[in-house]
Structure 1
């Protein structure tokens, strides 16, 4: 999912070098891993309770972020320290809830249609950056946001075969992830990336355990294997994303995050017999074009 790439990694630190080619390769690699994770999540959530599946994912994710923090300078004590615990806790809760909503959406709409709607989250970030962070959004970016939401309407329209109550689920996930992203930017003003990353995994694991442990179900042996793969790919995807932002500027590699939708669509069609409807393809193309434009405008504004 980021995150969606699914992505759960907070704002990256200033890179020590800017190797754009390597950064692009790492970003594309992370999108492949996260798409595979989406496919495994779709399978497991169709067989077992979504809360249990996400809970186990978060146990492994929490172990991963604790290991990363323990090896970093200052160790766990430094990672835990924050002057804004409420903001950090809210970030962790939002992301955990978003993952649950997104995975549940996979079971109802499939990978293609869920991801086609979810990829509008950068537009929601741009639209909400004004009221949440006090950033200015010019008429060009507002125009791009409008075009992107025309794309969303293409996907959701009844003739496209997607519009029902379930269509609101990936849209809700996109809104939650946008709010999480904005809170991550806000938290980054006073906290380090290591601190935000630690709180993301720790708070999410505590929250998911509290709500998911009541829905424990025994799994078959093959599905235990798929669950193990899901946990490993989650950690691998986050590691690739961290390395990506270490070697290249975020603005240079972020456009390639849209490959997540491409890989998820391929998985949906080949493994789950999903169909890429013309209205969904058209809407997704409009959303991606609008998202790329907003990224370009943001980069141009920073350069100016």
Structure 2
């Protein structure tokens, strides 16, 4: 991948990707609220696998080069982990709503920073540990574990964030030997095979109108990944990554306007702390880099 270092284009593509991913979240909530989550994610992965195969086929060396890896077990585990994380996240949308789920999920960059030491052997200084602590306080404000009866479903987006953080760290670990194209290929293939083995047992007849939503879900998933690929071709990750938090904004707008969700004051305060801590962590990583 040849980087063009066009910051404005990279930022625009990142914001466009967050819009598409927010739309994908909303459609996922609608479909998973009517049909089994495993079936919805399985069909989504079929299109994702077709996308990565087509992408690998067009690259120099084709499928043979893209699939070559000396750490197949790690690559397969990454793909399975991401598929499981998507199932948890989509189910969280149905029981908690988009806003509350996403407000907790956005703490994943802080979890990446916290786990980068034990997993990758990276040094995490006191400033980043402080930011991680602030982010944890933000999550606690959102979840409100001490107010009345704690909703056990509230741990789902936290589980999803932890799984996605581990997936991100394993991706960075795999990058020491494999190219991003190889990791992307096995993410789609391993996830598709896993979800097919699980989801085929939960197949349900789908209404004709919902097949249109399913098609849009698949297209949005592929489009979002394509936008991200183009985004990182245009600019450095450290430049565009802060704009990924726009995902929370679009999700909140969608949750309020379409699903009638409420934006609680504690969610706004907690999310502000999490985002601020995440932006500080990104800034520290960029300075050290």
TM-score tier, shorter chain, comes to: over 0.9
Is 1:85 the counterpart of 2:72? The answer is yes
Aligned mate of 1:146, from 121, 129, 133: 133
Deviation at 1:16, TM superposition (A): 2.5
Two-structure CA RMSD over aligned residues (Å)? 1.1
Is 1:164 the counterpart of 2:147? The answer is no
Is 1:21 the counterpart of 2:8? The answer is yes
- Deviations along 1:81-117, one digit per CA (max 9) or x if unpaired, are 0010011011001100000000000000000000000
Is 1:105 the counterpart of 2:92? The answer is yes
Is 1:298 the counterpart of 2:285? The answer is yes
Q: Give the gaps of 5 or more residues in structure 1.
A: 1-12
The count of residues paired between Structure 1 and Structure 2 equals 289
Deviation at 1:177, TM superposition (A): 0.1
The equivalent residue for 1:214 is 201
- Deviations along 1:60-91, one digit per CA (max 9) or x if unpaired, are 00000000000000000001100100110110
Preserved contact between residue 160 and residue 280 of structure 1 (Cα < 8 Å): no
Preserved contact between residue 3 and residue 232 of structure 2 (Cα < 8 Å): no
Aligned mate of 2:39, from 46, 52, 57: 52
Q: Give the gaps of 5 or more residues in structure 2.
A: none
Scaled by the length of structure 1, what TM-score is found? 0.94
Aligned mate of 2:216, from 229, 233, 238: 229
- Deviations along 1:24-71, one digit per CA (max 9) or x if unpaired, are 000000000000000000000000000000000000000000000000
- For residue 47 of structure 1, give the secondary structure of its aligned residue in structure 2: coil
The equivalent residue for 1:288 is 275
Structure 1 Cα separation of the partners of residues 61 and 251 of structure 2: 38
Matches within 5 A, 1:113-132: 113-132=100-119
Deviation at 1:159, TM superposition (A): 7.2
Aligned mate of 2:247, from 250, 260, 273: 260
Structure 1 Cα separation of the partners of residues 99 and 171 of structure 2: 27
Preserved contact between residue 68 and residue 182 of structure 2 (Cα < 8 Å): yes
The equivalent residue for 1:241 is 228
Aligned mate of 1:269, from 249, 256, 264: 256
Spell out structure 1 runs of 4+ moving beyond 3 A: 158-163
